[in-house]
Amino acid sequence: MDTRSVHNIRIERLWVDFTNGVGGKWRSFFDMLGVHGGLNIDNPYHLWILHFLFLDAINEDITLWANMWNCHKMSLSNERNKSPMEMKTLSLIQHGPRGYDHDVELDEQEIAEYGIDWEDAHDNRIQNHHRNGNGLDIMADNPFISYRPEVHPYVQVDEVPNPLTDIQMTSFVQQLGALPADLLQTKCMDRRKDLFLAALNIAIEVVA
């Protein structure tokens, strides 16, 4: 990780934690569906079933993770035993809603290094996560560009239309609702694969 990356180290660290806590689980699940569950990621109607079945569960996992992260104790050397929520609250009390006192004078080196977490910047786990998530930057050696992110990842998420008519949708929901409650409410990823397969088969029968 070169000098252009250290200014992004805190968000990179957050992405590592998020991937370990939430993102990695769902990515592995979708990969498993592609190999063993009949999922065709190029079929927009398969993606519609994923949205219908799991979007609420994904959002619930993200919300739970965010709440837990906001309340967990940080290991920062100057903020021992404080959670992000506590640090935010104390900062508001000490500095007001506008944050840090901008009248404090910093020298050039302090300005250049402001916001850098050097301990995390040298963490191999975070560096590897950064390399795996960022492609080669053809402008990386341009001396006139400072602190430029290697890439600006953009994920196009197209809205997937409901392929079913009103009558088909009613039948789909009814048949899906007739599945065992423990399957519909499961949080086990292996069982969620079974749920996807069941929903896919119901959709095929409804449209046939």
Report d(CA 208, CA 204) in Å as an integer.
6
How confident is residue 205, by pLDDT bands cut at 50, 70 and 90? very high
The reported pLDDT for the residue numbered 1 is 37
pTM exceeding the 0.85 threshold for the entire prediction: no
Mean pLDDT within 101-116: 63
Q: Which phi-psi region, left, alpha or beta, contains residue 108 (left: φ > 0; alpha: ψ -120 to 50)?
A: alpha
Average pLDDT over residues 107-134: 64
Assess whether pLDDT exceeds 50 at residue 3.
no
Residues in the chain: 208
- CA dist., res. 87 & res. 74, Å (int): 10
The arithmetic mean of pLDDT across residues 8-27, rounded, is 78
Task: Choose between 148 and 106: higher pLDDT.
Answer: 106
Each residue's pLDDT tens digit, 129-169:
666 665 555 555 555 554 455 555 566 667 788 999 999 99
Rounded Cα gap, residues 147 and 112, in angstroms: 10
Residue 97 or residue 162, greater confidence: 162
DSSP, residue by residue, 5-46: TGGGHHHHHHHHHHIIIIIHHHHHHHHHHHHHS---TT-HHH
- Angle in degrees, CA 197, 52, 28, rounded to 5: 60
Phi-psi category of residue 147: left, alpha or beta, with phi > 0 → left and psi -120 to 50 → alpha: left
With b for 16 or more beta-carbon neighbours within 10 A and e for fewer, the 24-52 pattern comes to eebeebbebbeeebebeeeeebbbbbbeb
- Cβ neighbours of residue 203 under 8 Å, at least 6 residues apart? 45, 49, 164, 172
Q: For the chain, list the strands marked E by DSSP.
A: none
Distances from the Cα of 95 to the Cαs of 4, 23, 88, 91, 114, in angstroms? 30, 34, 10, 6, 18
